[in-house]
Amino acid sequence: MHFLRFFFFVPQMLLFAPEVWYNRTMATKKFFSKLKVHFGKVSAIMIAVFVVLLAVDLILKHCEEAYDWNFTVIPRLIWVESGYRNTGAAFSFLADTEWGRAFLIILTLVMIAVLCACFLFLPERFILLKLALAMIVSGAVGNLVDRIAFGYVRDFVWVNMFFNQACCNFADFWIVFGVIIAVIDSLFLNEWAILPLTARAKAAQAAAKERSESQGNEDGASSDADGKKSDGEKSDDSDEKEDK
């Protein structure tokens, strides 16, 4: 019985496979056809922010290494101590593996490519999200330069967080602050916000809802008009038959 089921199931799958592939291909083409590159004044400013943040991170890393910094910023909370080198990711993840460096470099390159694509396709009105992406990419590139050039990341800022000490650098700060800005903006501030708190976000969501409802009404009206037209054509055909 199982053999017979398999025997009848395989030809059906082969028959439906081209249709499924065609539908998915058309859906993918339709999705990408809606994408549009948005690059204007806001994007240019955010690229300048990216360059500045990247330069600050690399300059501070060089100064820490050249001048052997050791001082306290906030007692028992933030202090600077030179000499710590992280061959892995955050919290020394993959630090003791031979393939960890190559994996982290490839993963960072993929992440940077995805974030840059999001930056280009994101409309100019999403200022905070573009800022967040610029900060995250600058931090990722800063640490990527260290991994490629030295094989490790130069960390020198110690932070006491939740009774745990963690060593990081300014590239890590850019990434963390960028993620925080993106989360806050996506949750509460922009027109895609899940819980909109600003008047601008509420107005944008109300306008989008009205546009979708009006478009739905137009589609319904056009379908009704097409239905009436087809009914009229059928009635004309029936009248011609009766005359004959």
How does pLDDT run across 91-140, given as a tens digit for each residue?
A: 455 555 666 678 888 999 999 999 999 999 999 999 999 999 999 999 99
Q: Is 239 domain-assigned?
A: no
* Catalytic-residue membership of 96: no
Q: Is 211 domain-assigned?
A: no
Per-residue 3-state assignment (H helix, E strand, C coil) for the chain: CHHHHHHHHHHHHHHHHHHHHHHHHHHHHHHHHHCCCCCCHHHHHHHHHHHHHHHHHHHHHHHHHHHCCEEEEECCCEEEEEEEEECCCHHHCCCCCCCHHHHHHHHHHHHHHHHHHHHHHCCCCCHHHHHHHHHHHHHHHHHHHHHHHHCCEEEEEEEEECCEEEEECHHHHHHHHHHHHHHHHHHHHCCCCCCCCCHHHHHHHHHHHHHHHHHHHHHHHHHHHHHHHHHHHHHHHHHHHHHC
pLDDT of residue 6: 44
Please give the tally of structural domains in the chain: 1
* Catalytic-residue membership of 172: yes
Range of the domain at 154: 36-204
Catalytic residue among 96, 172, 185, 224: 172
Q: Is 195 domain-assigned?
A: yes
Catalytic residue among 68, 155, 237, 239: 155
Q: Is 232 domain-assigned?
A: no
Tell me the whole-structure pTM to 2 decimals: 0.73
Per-residue model confidence as pLDDT tens digits over 185-237: 999 988 888 888 888 888 888 887 887 787 767 666 665 555 555 555 555 55
pLDDT of residue 86: 85
Q: Is 186 domain-assigned?
A: yes
Per-residue model confidence as pLDDT tens digits over 144-180: 999 999 989 999 999 997 778 888 999 999 999 999 9
- pLDDT mean across residues, the chain: 80
19-45: average pLDDT: 69
54-67: average pLDDT: 96
